[in-house]
Amino acid sequence: MKHIVLTRLLPVALTAVSLPLVAGNFSSASAASLSFSVSPFTGDPAKINFTLDDQAAGAGNIQFKVDVDRTVNLADLRGIFFNISDDSLLKNLTITGANVSQFLFDAGKVNELGNGNNLNGEGRKGEKQFFDAGVEIGTQGIGAGDDIQSTVFTLSHKLGHKLDLSLFTNQSFGVRVQSVGTNREGSSKLVGTAPITPTPAPAPAPAPAPAPAPAPAPVPTQDSTPAPAPVPAPYIPPVVLVSPPPAPPAKVPEPGVTTAIVLSAIGAAKLLKRRSVESMPSHQEG
């Protein structure tokens, strides 16, 4: 016999208390995640993005983050449906989240959460989509401000069984949205399949090696023996080089005086010779 669980949330006060806890958990580091999108099988254009994380809500729990892709269309999240590979876990699963109104588990039979919150196809004979679990988000309509375009909730096991992402790989997911489009008058029903391989979280960059601390400067030791006074260098008088006085220039007689002296000497010699000739006696032939 299939096990069915239909749970209503605690009062709004308890829901408000859980909001910061969920938000805080979501910011923690994760080891791996499943990221994928679902697209409409009936209704207006829309796109819903899923991220499942097995560490953000604590080891052994699975955090679901579901976001309306506003680049495609606006929409109000109303119902989230999914399958799990191990049906034996369903009877002890529970869901907590700030926007969760109710949840339902029943292997392969969950299709509707009330008030038109279902995954039926168009018309009476339209194809119906069935799942193992359904989660109602918020309330009907956006008139009172209940316009939820992003939500986070946590799936856990009441007996402490450790859940992991392998339970959801290659499993079907569905979403019911209302108030679709800029005029907020459309609706859509979407389905998709989670990837087979989780996406590992990027490894943190290695921390740079610390720079080696410089070696401390050596501390000078105190010496009790005073250093000897320095010996003064011997005094060497400066050497003064004195140049000898220049030799006086030889006196050279003027050319005119020398010539006069020579001429006078020659004239005097001629005069003496004439006189000696004149003084000699004359010899006449007989």
User: What is this structure's pTM?
Assistant: 0.61
The upper half-sphere exposure of residue 116, i.e. CA atoms within 13 Å in the direction of its Cβ, equals 11
Tell the residue number behind the tokens 């995640």, with chain if given.
33
Backbone angles phi, psi at 86, to 5 degrees: -115, 100
Rounded CA gap, 52 and 81, in Å? 14
**Can you give 147-216 as a three-state secondary structure string?**
CCCEEEEEEEECCCCCCCHHHCCCCEEEEEEEEECCCCCEEEEEEEECCCCCEECCCCCCCCCCCCCCCC
pLDDT at 109: 97
Q: What is the DSSP letter of 2?
A: -
Contact 117, 138 (CB under 8 A): no
Backbone angles phi, psi at 255, to 5 degrees: -60, -35
One-letter identity of residue 82: F
Q: Output 24-31 pairs: Cβ under 8 A, ≥24 positions apart.
A: 25/56, 25/57, 25/58, 25/63, 25/154, 26/53, 26/56, 26/57, 26/63, 26/65, 26/152, 27/56, 28/55, 28/56, 29/55, 29/201, 30/54, 30/55, 30/56, 30/201, 31/55, 31/200, 31/201
pLDDT at 250: 63
Q: Find the largest Cα–Cα distance for the chain.
A: 212
Which residues make beta-bridge pairs with 68? 48
Contact 26, 64 (CB under 8 A): no
List CB contacts of 169: < 8 A, sequence separation 6 or more: 34, 85, 194, 195, 196, 197, 198
Residue-by-residue pLDDT tens, the chain, 286 positions:
444 444 444 333 333 333 333 333 333 344 679 999 999 999 999 999 999 999 999 999 999 999 999 999 999 999 999 999 999 999 999 999 999 999 999 999 999 999 889 999 876 667 889 999 999 999 988 987 789 999 999 999 999 999 999 999 999 999 999 999 999 999 999 999 999 877 666 677 888 888 888 878 777 666 566 677 777 777 777 766 667 777 776 665 555 656 667 677 777 777 777 776 666 665 544 4
pLDDT at 20: 32
Backbone angles phi, psi at 35, to 5 degrees: -125, 130
Provide the 10 A C-beta neighbour count for residue 184.
15
Rounded CA gap, 109 and 239, in Å? 123
Contact 157, 133 (CB under 8 A): no
Backbone angles phi, psi at 12, to 5 degrees: -60, -30
